[in-house]
Copies of this chain bind each other. A is one copy, B any other.
Amino acid sequence: MPVSIIGTSHTKVGFLNDKTLYDLILEAGKDALKDAELSGEDIDAVYVANFGGEDFNNQGHLAPYAVEIHEGLRFKPCVRIESACASGSAAVLEAINSIESGRSKTVLVIGAEKMSSLDTKGVSNVLAKASFWPLEGEKGFTFPSLYAELAKGYMSHFGYSKEELWDTLAYISCKAHKNAISNPFAQMHKEYSHEYASTVSDKNPLIAEPLKLSDCSLISDGAAALVLTTTERALELKSEVVEISGIASSCDYLSIVEGKRNNWEQKAIKIAAEKAFGEADLSIEDIHVAEVHDCFTINELLIYEALGIAEPGKGREALLRGDTFVGGKLPVNPSGGLKAKGHPVGATGVSMHVLVARQLLNKAIGLQVEGATNGLTVNVGGSGATNIVSVLRRIK
């Protein structure tokens, strides 16, 4: 029983000093219901994606707070899903299961995170809990240093120098910042020069060699929400419909430093993508737009290779050809991505689904990829332990 999107919402992303985590949930939830032209009574279940509420906001057990969105949600099932930075897509998957099981007809999915309540070091410490603590966080690894392991593994395995990698990754960060200029909700509205992004400088220091400041995504507050229902009902209710035609999750070992998984590829993303494409009966060749998990620029490169946008070790060529730029073969992160749109971690997967759905409805938030009817999201938790891929299609 396929499932479609009949309502979307997205808050501004950034340091939203006047908004609490609760405000973000209310705003995203209410706006999505409004967009769907539905009320709380019409919703059978609520899925709330959040990673660090306990640490950022002293709030666990967040899902029942959704009852405050509308009194019609009282006594409905509400549940919080946590898969680190992939929490949002994990919630979408559980929401789809709920509909496909027949237990729900229409479901509200909200992703929300309020990170700016802590300083940068505090946020870094909280995020480190998404690593395998005894071997990573506890040993002083932060997420920049975990993704640096992947960057080093990639250089070593495929024989790139640090300068070559920097040059490659600079295309990704410059693309992100350029795209974000048009996104009214993006956290950053500032273009990068290739020279700045490809060079270590006072303004662009190494964070975890070989990754520089310009390779790292942002600390953000923000929320997004979706209303999902059966495709059958969506086609009855709406004049324009985007279906989630395929979705799959693939988990790998929690730790990257332990060496049980390769540090030059994201194999589990490849597996999730194969399953999602299989379910949708589409391939990467059919996709017109993608929002993918560029928590660090190296991960966007690895995702190109996991998806088959480029052969293993050849992600750089896709960038040099301009394939993933708006106007290219498959624009990736026209929103600005996690790098420039921002990365409110628990919200990110829901945000990706909203952004791609809006692209396919020709109502992009920011840059519109003209004529896009098939889209993709890739959402990653930890250093690649949780990997969730969705294939979206405009069906009406």
Contacts and interface: CB of A to CB of B under 8 A. Distances in A.
The 10 closest A-B CB pairs, nearest first, are: A100-B101, A77-B249, A61-B84, A64-B385, A61-B130, A97-B97, A78-B251, A64-B251, A60-B129, A97-B101
A104 to B, nearest CB: 8
A78 to B, nearest CB: 4
A90 interface: yes
Given A67-B251, A82-B82, 5 more contacts: A61-B129, A64-B254, A67-B254, A75-B251, A97-B103
Contacts of A100: 97, 100-103
A227 interface: no
Nearest to A45: B249
12 contacts: A52-B54, A60-B84, A61-B84, A61-B381, A63-B83, A63-B251, A64-B253, A67-B253, A67-B254, A75-B251, A75-B268, A77-B249
A130 B60 contact: yes
A234 to B, nearest CB: 17
Q: How large is the interface on A (under 10, 10 to 19, 20 to 34, 35 or more residues)?
A: 35 or more
B51 A60 contact: yes
A20 to B, nearest CB: 8
A57 B67 CA distance: 30
Given A67-B254, A268-B75, A101 B90 contact: no
Contact of A79 (B58, B65, B81, B130): B81
Given A55-B54, A253-B67, A79 B60 contact: no
